[in-house]
């Protein structure tokens, strides 16, 4: 996702014990007794829906079989995300439909949809990663400024997207106490509508306001959760910028919004609606954070 001026990095998730690893079909996985990491990849296809359904269902089946039933974070990387598939449907909407069908086989409805990122990629096809846990418990959070994605109206596509705006993980043994808060990819959307079409500065401000509201005490309280956070508490922020030329404007707004300890990585990829110019994700670490 890097272009000149953007960041190039490798992400490594570590664990205190030697993980067991394996592969099955399009999936690869590693697990340590409490956490399970799965990655999946689907090659370029004329129409994705059926294969996305099958591969995501296989991932959800694996989560159950290995005994890590609680998915708390997903990332979805969609090649040519706003291009048409062979039937003329946007590839993102094609993907979303297959994923929605797979989620019908996981848990008991929208209450199980985790925080997620759905974003373009320079690569081909569709790939994803997910994190799940065994004894910990995720609590999913919506944003009072935004329609839950799984309730988006039909104007966007045949099925609504399957994700929560944020997920707090209450780790095993913490007596339900605070853990990390994972903030989903967040865009310049109020209700379900894109706002500030064509104005990347104003879109970035709305994204930052959306995240500030999402992680605030009152919004968490509405989800039955304690605590409250500010933008400066965020860590491991990823900023996805559609147009290379927009990077300085986005970077300046982020610089003044986040704290000195917030790591921010900038990437140059397409976003899932043609009028969205920027998407931002991150996390607020829990007390167990040792980084």
Q: Active-site positions?
A: 279
Looking at beta carbons only, is 37 or 163 nearer to ligand 3EB? 163
Cβ atoms of 79 and 91 within 8 Å: the answer is yes
CA 118, distance to chain mean position in Å, is 6
187 binds ligand 3EB (CB under 6 A): yes
Binding mask 54-93 for ligand 3EB (x = CB under 6 A): ----------------------x-----------------
Q: Which of residues 20-59 bind ligand 3EB (CB under 6 A)?
A: none
Residue 181 CB, nearest distance to ligand 3EB (Å)? 15
Q: Which of residues 243-282 bind ligand 3EB (CB under 6 A)?
A: 272
Q: Which of residues 102-141 bind ligand 3EB (CB under 6 A)?
A: 116-118
210 binds ligand 3EB (CB under 6 A): no
Looking at beta carbons only, is 96 or 257 nearer to ligand 3EB? 96
Cβ atoms of 194 and 276 within 8 Å: the answer is yes
Residues 6+ apart with CB under 8 A from 225: 139, 141, 168
Alpha helices in the chain (DSSP H): 49-66, 91-103, 200-214, 217-222, 247-257
CA atoms of 238 and 185, how far apart (whole Å): 9
Please give the size of the binding site for ligand 3EB, defined by CB under 6 A: 12
Query: Is 266 annotated as ligand-binding?
Result: no
CA atoms of 156 and 48, how far apart (whole Å): 17
Q: Do the strands 166-170 and 137-141 form a parallel or antiparallel pair, or are they unpaired?
A: antiparallel
Residue 98 CB, nearest distance to ligand 3EB (Å)? 12
Q: Which of residues 139-168 bind ligand 3EB (CB under 6 A)?
A: 149, 161, 163
231 binds ligand 3EB (CB under 6 A): no
Task: List Cα–Cα distances, 158 to 86, 91, 126, 247, 280, in angstroms.
Answer: 16, 12, 19, 33, 25
- Please give the residue ranges that form the binding site for ligand 3EB (CB under 6 A): 76, 116-118, 149, 161, 163, 184-185, 187, 189, 272
């Amino acid at each position: 996702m890097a272009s000149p001026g953007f960041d190039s990095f490798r992400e490594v998730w570590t664990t205190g014990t030697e993980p067991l690893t394996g592969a099955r079909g399009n999936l690869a996985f590693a697990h340590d007794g409490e956490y399970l990491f799965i990655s999946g990849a689907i090659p370029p296809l004329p129409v994705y829906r059926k294969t996305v359904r099958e591969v995501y269902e296989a991932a959800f089946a694996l989560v159950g079989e290995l005994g890590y039933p609680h998915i708390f974070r997903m990332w979805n990387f969609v090649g040519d995300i706003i291009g048409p598939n062979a039937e003329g449907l946007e590839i993102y909407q094609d993907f979303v439909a297959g994923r929605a069908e797979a989620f019908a086989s996981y848990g008991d409805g929208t209450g199980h949809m985790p925080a997620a990122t759905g974003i373009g990629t320079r690569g081909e096809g569709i790939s994803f990663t997910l994190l799940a846990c065994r004894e910990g418990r995720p609590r999913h959070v919506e944003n009072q400024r935004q329609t839950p994605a799984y309730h988006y109206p039909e104007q966007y596509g045949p099925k609504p997207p399957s994700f929560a705006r944020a997920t707090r993980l209450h780790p095993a043994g913490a007596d339900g106490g605070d853990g990390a808060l994972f903030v989903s990819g967040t865009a310049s959307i109020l209700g379900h509508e894109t706002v500030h079409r064509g104005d990347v500065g104003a879109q970035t401000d709305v994204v930052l306001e959306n995240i500030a509201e999402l992680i605030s005490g009152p919004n968490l309280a509405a989800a039955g959760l304690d605590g409250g956070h500010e933008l400066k508490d965020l860590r491991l922020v990823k900023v996805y910028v559609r147009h290379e030329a927009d990077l300085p404007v986005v970077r300046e707004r982020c610089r003044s919004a986040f704290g000195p300890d917030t790591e921010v990585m900038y990437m140059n990829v397409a976003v899932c609606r043609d009028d969205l110019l920027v998407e931002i994700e991150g996390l607020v670490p829990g007390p167990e954070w040792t980084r």
